[in-house]
Structure 1
Amino acid sequence: MQTVTLSLFRFDKPGSRFWLAGQMALARMALMGMKQVGFWKICGSGMGEGFTPQPNFTVWAILATWPDEETARRDIENAPVYKDWTKHASETWTIFLNPINSRGKWSGKEPFQPDGVMPEGALAVLTRASLRPHMAARFWGRVPDISAVIGTDPNIVFKIGIGEIPVLHQATFSIWPDTETMAAFARGNGAHGKAIKAVYDEGWFSEDLYARFRIAGAVGSWNGVDPLAKLNQIPEPVAEPDQTTEMDAA
């Protein structure tokens, strides 16, 4: 079963960020040489919630696909590129994922191998898009409203904006307690739902991808905690009282 990993690295110290500058070429060469890695991307991050044009130079990500979870865990622990990044980072967190479904392409490829098996509980969502340059202003004009909604939604377990190139190539990664909560946000009548409609009505993107994943686990911490721990803090929906009477049951 294909496993997808998203590894986040925080480089708070100036010396580590100077070291990272040389890694933009070296890490790419290392990942290309790893036989078990399929699709991969090294991404920067944004300052806000989700898509954002303002880069955050302290946080970087490596997204990769693997033939199975065992291989992913072994190589992320032992491969030199991951060990070097972890050594120089002040904090790291990796989440292990299994693709449920995927629509679209990333750099002309279909990177994920979904199995269609939906989880009963939490799931992760990755959205990625290449903006058409002449549509960039319209897109970024919508982003502040979307970011405000994402930042105040108590149901989002975790979210981060990443991307290969600021302004034009952007992605968001988010974790939700269940499918219903995620769908209500994505397709509702709010800022995000209206933006999604405009995307397809007006052709904002030259390429886009949307994928959902089951969560297989995580290692490390982010902001001092394991973000998945929040899943245990979200209350279960309150069930409606059972109105069945003895006559109904009969």
Structure 2
Amino acid sequence: MTQTVTISLYRFSGWRARAWALSMMARARGPLAHTPDIGFHKLCGAGRGHGFTPTINPAVIAILAVWPDATTARARTTDGIFARYAGNADEAWTVLLSPTSAKGLWSGQAPFTAQGPAPTGPLAALTRATIKPRILRRFWDRVPRISDMIGSDPDVTFKIGIGEVPMLHQVTFSVWPDQAAMDAFARTGPHADAIRAVRREGWFAEELYARFTVVSDHGTWGGRSPLSTLTKEAA
């Protein structure tokens, strides 16, 4: 079996739908934990920026989950608590991923099992960090420039910032057409400066860096599949 990771995004409009989504931040944890075949999983809110961001977006909820294989992942993310979220949302999108590299911990666990060679085509990147409270001001003074930079990068296919605890626990997820495009962003400008500062000043109490092959998706985001541009580029 090949471990498959899913990221499911749900968009809610109107105060009733958003209130329901907010209440589910507590009530959905039990049903998620009891979903058949689910492994490591996290229920997250979202930020307004394109990466790490201190500003909450109440319209978006994200669920990250680990499954034993892609067939199971497809079935489970269209049923049960995932179907309840989709039924109450105005829009829902799930992307299936196969881990190719992973380094670090998330809540004291190593959730992703790297398998297979690095992707030669489209890939996804996930960075998760627990920020040390004593450096919050320095961190947030610097990071918004990175969020703006990735948002304006013409090569990034999709990007979003999510997290478990605002300000402290942050996740950035992005999809790129190839390794070269991602490397060009990561090795220049504010992002490269921030990576050096992380190492020099020890900003994070816990961190995780993972790369994935993009397997497939279902649903839409912004009225279409974010992966549709990858299909066009490959054609």
The interval holding the TM-score normalised by the smaller chain is: over 0.9
Residue 49 of structure 1: CA displacement? 1.5
Partner of 2:206: 207
Residue 152 of structure 1: CA displacement? 1.1
SS class of match (2:28): helix
Q: Aligned partners of 1:235, 1:69: CA distance in 2, in Å?
A: 22
Partner of 1:223: 222
Q: Aligned partners of 1:111, 1:202: CA distance in 2, in Å?
A: 26
Q: Aligned partners of 2:20, 2:151: CA distance in 1, in Å?
A: 32
Partner of 2:62: 61
Partner of 2:120: 120
Q: Aligned partners of 2:6, 2:116: CA distance in 1, in Å?
A: 18
Alignment of 1:3-42 (within 5 A): 3-42=4-43
Question: Structure 1 residues 202 and 10 mapped into 2: Cα distance closer, same or farther (>3 Å)?
Answer: same
Q: Aligned partners of 1:8, 1:177: CA distance in 2, in Å?
A: 20
Q: Aligned partners of 2:182, 2:119: CA distance in 1, in Å?
A: 13
Partner of 1:71: 72
Residue 25 of structure 1: CA displacement? 2.1
Aligned residues between the structures: 234
Residue 148 of structure 1: CA displacement? 2.0
Q: Aligned partners of 2:133, 2:5: CA distance in 1, in Å?
A: 30
Question: Structure 1 residues 77 and 235 mapped into 2: Cα distance closer, same or farther (>3 Å)?
Answer: closer
- Point out the more displaced range, 179-188 or 5-14: 179-188
Preserved contact between residue 49 and residue 148 of structure 2 (Cα < 8 Å):
no
1:168-210 deviation digits (Å, cap 9, x = unpaired)? 100100001111111121122x000000110011000000000
SS class of match (1:135): helix
Alignment of 1:96-245 (within 5 A): 96-188=96-188, 190-234=189-233
Of structures 1 and 2, the larger Rg is shown by 1
Q: Aligned partners of 2:61, 2:137: CA distance in 1, in Å?
A: 25
SS class of match (1:121): coil
* 1:89 lines up with 2:89 in the alignment: yes
Q: Aligned partners of 1:20, 1:48: CA distance in 2, in Å?
A: 20
Preserved contact between residue 21 and residue 61 of structure 2 (Cα < 8 Å):
no
1:192 maps to a residue whose letter is: H
1:4-61 deviation digits (Å, cap 9, x = unpaired)? 0000000112111121232122210011112300000000000112010000000010
* TM-score of the aligned structures, taking structure 2 as reference length: 0.96
Residue 233 of structure 1: CA displacement? 4.6
1:51 maps to a residue whose letter is: F
Where do 5+ consecutive residues of structure 1 fail to align? 237-250
* TM-score of the aligned structures, taking structure 1 as reference length: 0.91
Alignment of 1:37-52 (within 5 A): 37-52=38-53
Residue 234 of structure 1: CA displacement? 4.5
1:68 maps to a residue whose letter is: D
Preserved contact between residue 52 and residue 144 of structure 2 (Cα < 8 Å):
no
Instruction: Give the 4+ runs in structure 1 shifted more than 2 A.
Output: 232-236
Q: Aligned partners of 2:171, 2:223: CA distance in 1, in Å?
A: 24
Identity %: 50
